[in-house]
Amino acid sequence: MVAQKKYLWQHTSGRWYVRKGGRYYRIHAEDGTPEFDEEYWEILRGKRHEVRRSWSVLIAEFRQSEKWAGYKPRYREDLEKIFLYLDEKIGKRDVKWLTTAEVYKAMERNSHRVRFANYIPVALTLLVKLARRKGWMQENPAENIELLKVPEERKKPHIPWTHAGVAKWRQEAKPLALLIFEIGVGSVQRPGDWNGFSWGDYDGESLKLTQNKTGTRLLLPCTPELKEQLDLARKELGNAHIPDRPILANDDGSPMTYHKIARVMRGERERLGLLEHDLHALRYRGVKELAYAGCNDDEIASYSGHMSKAMIRRYAGEARQEMNAKRANAKRMKK
């Protein structure tokens, strides 16, 4: 005879719970399955509260692995955001109870940030591989997950900064925003690398950097505009200028986050009426300035660290077309 589940209770949403000691504990397994029965009895016996094969345990172990140490800083940063999210949402649960449907639900709940949502099955798959080696689970509920697509209205191209926009910024921008601007254009690096520069990376003429995304090491001669802003910022620091201090730092000396840099720049772009030119377009502008100077793709790549020449040709192509058109027009006017 099958024992009745008299402590079972179903919410109007369809979710099942176990009433125990005046509290409700959710059952995550699908109703009518052996896993559902097993989870019900585990909760009643108190084993649910002593989960040794939890996602929190798995995440902590993965962070200590050689695989994790071997990832590039940018990739670890992306995964860490997901690990924190998973730890909060399912950290105390036994890993074997996760279902594919729940993975999709988690992605849907984060559909407003598509990149984050699409990293959820990536992070889970890495954790499941570790869980399989430990014998904790057999199937991967995050396998063959269909990723979310970026809405068309959000696929806006980065509009390069115009000559007029650059001139207005250099004339009217506030000091911090101007420093960020010159770092973006002058270094020709991704915004995610800007807060990685410390004063020890600046020798008065050049900046050195190891890119977060690619791990590429670069030595970047500064433009006159970038050098001027760096020298002014270093002079203002006075005794607070130390090699380990980030160039883009908070008042306490900690590095500014990407989001704070973005907020500073957006506020200034709005004030100056330059909202159409976003943060990432500063790298675009830097590539175009190198192309204006007559640099070939290899020379631009030595500055930008681009691994793909296709991206360089995309950014530099507009500048080259513009210069070619001007030369063609000059020849036409001579007739």
Tokens 């996602």 -> residue: 55
pTM to 2 decimal places: 0.61
Q: What is the structure's pLDDT at 79?
A: 92
Confidence band, pLDDT 50/70/90 cuts, at residue 203: very high
Q: 159-191: per-residue pLDDT in tens?
A: 889 999 999 999 999 999 999 999 999 999 988
Of all residues in the chain, the percent with pLDDT exceeding 90 is 44
Tokens 């070619």 -> residue: 324
Q: 205-247: per-residue pLDDT in tens?
A: 999 998 877 778 899 999 999 999 999 999 988 866 688 899 9
Smallest CA-to-CA distance from 134 within 238, 27, 226, 58 is with 58
Q: What is the structure's pLDDT at 268?
A: 96
pLDDT mean across residues, the chain: 87
Q: 140-156: per-residue pLDDT in tens?
A: 999 999 998 877 655 56
Cα of first residue to Cα of last residue in the chain, in angstroms, is: 102
CB of 274 closer than 8 Å to CB of 170:
no
Name the fold adopted by 163-333: hpI Integrase; Chain A (1.10.443)
Q: What is the structure's pLDDT at 1?
A: 39
Query: Phi/psi at 198 (nearest 5 deg)?
Result: -115, 170
Q: What is the structure's pLDDT at 261?
A: 93
Q: 51-92: per-residue pLDDT in tens?
A: 678 898 999 999 999 999 888 777 888 899 999 999 988 888
Q: What is the structure's pLDDT at 19?
A: 85
Of all residues in the chain, the percent with pLDDT exceeding 70 is 93
Q: 100-118: per-residue pLDDT in tens?
A: 999 999 999 998 888 899 9
Q: Which CATH number fits domain 52-155: 1.10.510.10, 3.40.50.720, 1.10.486.10, 1.10.150.130?
A: 1.10.150.130
Cα 314 to Cα 276: distance, rounded to the nearest angstrom: 19
Residues of the chain with CATH 1.10.443.10: 163-333
Residues of the chain with CATH 1.10.150.130: 52-155
